[in-house]
Chains A and B, each alone.
Chain A
């Protein structure tokens, strides 16, 4: 079955520290992978996406993610977190005939001063 797992429900980091949010997927075909961010009461904003090619993907706001096919992972990283990064982060996989997205349950990021 197709699924996305985000093992960390909550993560707290200090401002300026590095960040890694984990995402594992199960998908029968070539996956298209996405990271979205959601601020409270808001919609989802695309951070980055992987379709093919270079497995290290750069996104907005200084985020990057690495696709590792052997580990079925697509972890999100940022070298130095800012207080404005506090939000909920969703990993998603899409593709197939309809391209519907399957989301993980999200990771809520808190940033300490």
Chain B
């Protein structure tokens, strides 16, 4: 059973470009979480999605950031018009359905560098 997959592992963008980060959850997992880790900080929750639904986006910046988890395919975190402050590691985690407190399994992360 493959783990959580994220790609790309590293992404370099210039200010104003778009960044698109992908996450494929573990097989059988229908819950996806995105977290951001700024340099020298812990992980901060961004958004929680189930298939075709955003359940909790309380950690998402109000502008330029969006997330989706379509019926088919990976979850996508999209950052429009990136700025230098968006440079961070973005981690995706997945968990099985319908069990409160279930363990979240993390992917290797995408490290975004904005020039």
Q: Which residues of A contact B (CB under 8 A)?
A: 32, 34, 36, 41-46, 49, 51, 90, 92, 94-95, 97-106
Contact = CB atoms under 8 A, between A and B. Distances in A.
Closest A-B pairs by Cβ, 9 of them: A32-B101, A103-B42, A44-B106, A43-B108, A98-B56, A105-B42, A100-B45, A43-B106, A103-B43
A97 B35 CA distance: 17
Interface string B44-59: 1100100000011001
Contacts of B101: 32, 51, 94-95, 99
Residue of B35, B56, B100 most packed against chain A (CB within 10 A): B100
Secondary structure of the B contact surface, majority rule: strand
21 contacts: A32-B101, A43-B107, A44-B43, A49-B103, A51-B101, A92-B43, A94-B101, A95-B100, A97-B100, A98-B48, A98-B55, A98-B56, A99-B48, A99-B95, A100-B48, A101-B33, A101-B104, A103-B35, A103-B44, A104-B42, A105-B41
Interface of B: 4, 31, 33, 35, 41-45, 48, 55-56, 59, 91, 93, 95, 100-109, 111
